[in-house]
Chains A and B, each alone.
Chain A
Amino acid sequence: MGAMSPKKAPDLLPGTLDLLILRALVRESMHGYGIAQFLRSVSRDVLEVGESSLYPALQRLLLEGYVRAEWGTSDNNRRARYYTLTASGRKQLAAEREEFERIVVAIRLVLEFA
């Protein structure tokens, strides 16, 4: 799949948002707002993800079959759509994570070149 169109958060590396969302869903199912909250709080307010990048990313993950969506009830008793990681999503997370580590190491090597 060569989907390239929708924009990602400008301050993230390409593809990183997908990785972060998958990671966010590892422990439990979350709704979109919950994912945004999770990313912000875990990153100590550094990663602020807006709807215009979050929801296209979620649709992309749905299309690829990495996540599954179901309607449920939120903590404050409102109808909310919960996303759950699928088996292939888990696999993809592992693969992307490994790739990310490799790149981070590579970038660090370049930056720290004395």
Chain B
Amino acid sequence: MNFLRRLSYWLRHRSIEADLLEEIAFHEAMKQREIETSGVAAMSASHMRSRAMGNVTRAREDARAVWIWPWLESVWQDLTYGARMLRKHPGFTLIATVALAAAIGLNTSLITVVNAVIFRPWDVADSRRMITLESLDCCKRAGGQPHGFSLDEVAYFAEHARTIKGIYAFRHDGEGGTVGLGTGEPKLKSAWVSAEYFRVLGVSMHRGRAFRADDHSGVPNAEVVISYGVWQRQFAGDVSIVGSAIRLDGQLFTVIGVAPQTFTGTFGMPVDLWIPLSAVPLIRPDDRWVKNVLRQPAACCTSAAARLADGVTYGEAQTELGALSRNFRAVSGAPFEGVFVGSFTPLAGPPGSRDDVIHLFALLSAGAGAVLLLACANVGNLLLARMATRRREIAVRLSLGASRSRIIRQLLTEGLALAALGAAGGLLIAIWLPDTILRIAMRSAVMDLRPDAAVLGYTLALTVLTCVIFGLPPALHATQPPRTAGVRMPLRSVFLSVQIALCVVLLVGAGLLLRGVHRVTAENQGFAVQEVTGVSFEFPTRALAMARTKPFVVQLSATLPELAGGGPVGLSSGVPLKSTGKSDVRLNSESEERSRDILIEEVSAGYFHVLRIPRVAGRGFEQDDAGRGVIIVNETLAKLYGDGPSLLGSTVLVGGAPRQVVGVVKDFRASSLERVEPTVYQPFSGQLATNVLVRNESPGAAQAVATLARRIEPSIVVTIVPLSDYLEQRLGPPRILARVSGALGVLALVLATIGVFGVFAFSVQQRTQEIGVRMALGAPAQQVVRLVLGVCARSIAFGLAVGFAIAFAVSRMMRAYLFGLSPLDPATYACVALALVGAGMAAAYLPAVRATRIPPATALRLD
């Protein structure tokens, strides 16, 4: 109450002081009137008044001081006192600071990453005012993924929308595809963007200029902006690059600008160069899709982003753009279901579309939060032990007249000093950790990961919170009337149980994730991942590919069998763990609405042999199947349409064309690590893409294939990658999650061990006398140890039980990262239990030994 009144004084101190001033003036006036009426001259009355009543200014100052001074003074006292206590116990201070710093550092790091990824992922001017636009209608069959707009529609927005002050269009995901410089080196990642791109983003060039506004003449603008990285790597930082011409896929483009070093695009992955959408037909001359996207008013699938006009909210922009879109589509004929305005980040999107990433962050946040709670419980327990030794001091102060709230405040201030130390350490960790994680995770730091004001504020709040969580209960407890002093302390058991339970949860989570990832690498994916290498071919230019693909494929497939010397060789349109081509598939008897998007793979007869996929029913492909309209399906697809073999021989429409099912192969996880996707295999034609799969046991086979291909087609670009490399790439993110959670688990275990050790050690210290007496009376060492350890046994057991129960419930949420491992995996639970027992024994050993070595005589003399 007192505190609240003081607080309200701080908030209203102006009006309170005015009140004070006025009432003292009133007092003076009254006094003067009284003296005047008593008949003394006014002059000397004023003089008398001063003498009789004391100095007015001092009255005011003193009255004000009642509110402010004692408070400031006592806070300062508490702080210095707290600092002195911390200095006096360096061991305690060190352990507590490290525990808090680790926990606060972890949480701050996580929020730094979230902050960077969600709120300012790219180095553009004032990214909070940027928005992404998604159309909610298009491509409904693809699972409701929103796709975008036509260029005409974006131009319509630019012309009519008042809630935005700049909009640009870009190819969805930014991946305009790769282009070659014609130097035989890996192709560069290009982004296709409208001319307004750099201007709307507020990115100014490192050198040269950005694109000029599109004149909509339809005449392609053969201009390109290259990234700083490409400028350095490919052109050795040559300053004359601006204005010179380079060949992209054989076409001449003028380099007009070099992007700043910190800017690598606004897409999920960094890009190497930016090409105006109007110039795309130059490098994709025969691509009907490109023509469609550029010209058709009703085309879908170009994404857009815009900058909000001043003072406009997301909601206002969404309403206006939605209305405009409805108008536009009423004319263009494209289906309309609304426009979604999201924040400018790779994670933005309509509800549901980015659940997996949010899920991942939620899991990590929960883990980090648990570690923070654990650290608080740990420090709280240490503080409790300290309080017990300070009982006498506190009792003396209470009996000298200090109020309970005053002492609690002092203890809390001490805690705050400790939390501040921890926060300082935590911030140091947070400056270094997120960057390191992302460097390992993405092999490039594209993001700005310095903690900003928001993160600092978060850390500050976290500090105060931890201070209250670990400081308040011990303080309340220590200042209680000493009716139960020295006896069992339930609070200590609560802290201990909390620590154990959280530790169990974190360890189980980490164990499951690690085992899940391990399982993928070790366990069979259903095919020979470790034994096969993929050789991929790419023509340097689109035009060359159109002209030469057919003869190349024919010659290659004719020569391959003799080359491998009888060993199995497979041709396919995609490489397992890498391919993603899909097409709509339905039964002959089904209506068009019922078609599903199914994975399509073109494979040769040898494909299944190389990968060692057994046949379940029917036959495999034969040499001359190519024109026959036959397909093979996997078991999952067969099950999708009834029970397995019944599909054999029936006709299925693939992309509208009738195909006869001649075989069923065993399931294997070719596209996803988590599950088997239904897949249709067509005879290899080479029209989609060409890859050769060879087995590793014939050394030099991959090289021989590459040599052969170059002999057929000298300009071909060859990439040789073992399938296990693709597996490694796929495993990247889950492995990071597993490692981070593993680190969390180890940290939790260490903290909990320290916590248990502290409690045991304290209990021995507190009962030294009792133990001494027992030993003197002949109690065996065993009994003494049991006495010491028995104190905490119940709370540890309770913590274990609760922890396992929570882990049980929580682990179900991690299913997506377990790759089929059961969330109740017994091995994990057994390992966690073992680790905890081991840690518990380690924590108990020293105190137990110390207890049995207490010389009875010393014990009796104590105190």
Q: Give A contacts to B, CB under 8 Å.
A: 1-7, 31-33, 36, 48, 50-56, 58-60, 62-65, 69, 71, 74, 78-81
Contacts and interface: CB of A to CB of B under 8 A. Distances in A.
Interface string B42-76: 00000000001111101110111111011000100
Contact of A32 (B9, B23, B58, B406): B23
B26 interface: yes
Contact of A53 (B2, B22, B54, B74): B54
B54 A50 contact: yes
Interface residues of B, number: 36
B403 interface: yes
B355 interface: no
Given A1-B2, A52-B55, A59 B23 contact: no
Interface string B257-282: 00000000000000000000000000
Nearest to B401: A2
Contacts of B403: 1
29 contacts: A1-B403, A2-B74, A2-B402, A2-B406, A3-B70, A5-B62, A5-B65, A5-B70, A32-B23, A32-B26, A50-B54, A51-B28, A51-B53, A51-B59, A52-B53, A52-B54, A55-B23, A56-B63, A58-B63, A59-B64, A60-B66, A63-B5, A63-B6, A63-B67, A64-B2, A74-B26, A78-B26, A79-B26, A81-B19
Interface of B: 1-2, 5-6, 9, 19-20, 22-24, 26-31, 52-56, 58-60, 62-67, 69-70, 74, 402-403, 406
A71 B67 CA distance: 20
B2 A33 contact: no
Interface centre among A50, A58, A60 (most CB of B within 10 A): A50
A56 B70 contact: no
A33 B689 CA distance: 99
Interface centre among A2, A58, A79 (most CB of B within 10 A): A2
Contact of A6 (B2, B56, B63): B63
Given A2-B70, A5-B70, A52 B62 contact: yes
Q: Ordered nearest first, which 9 A-B pairs have the shortest CB separation?
A: A52-B54, A50-B54, A51-B59, A52-B59, A59-B66, A56-B62, A55-B63, A81-B23, A6-B62
Contacts, number: 97
A61 B9 CA distance: 14
A80 B31 CA distance: 14
Nearest to A3: B70
Given A32-B27, A80-B23, A50 B52 contact: yes
Given A2-B402, A50-B53, A52-B54, A63 B2 contact: yes
B31 A33 contact: yes
Given A50-B52, A52-B59, 11 more contacts: A1-B403, A2-B74, A33-B31, A50-B53, A50-B59, A55-B62, A59-B66, A69-B19, A74-B30, A79-B26, A81-B22
A55 B64 CA distance: 9
Given A50-B53, A65-B5, A79-B22, A7 B62 contact: yes
A4 B70 contact: yes
A84 to B, nearest CB: 14
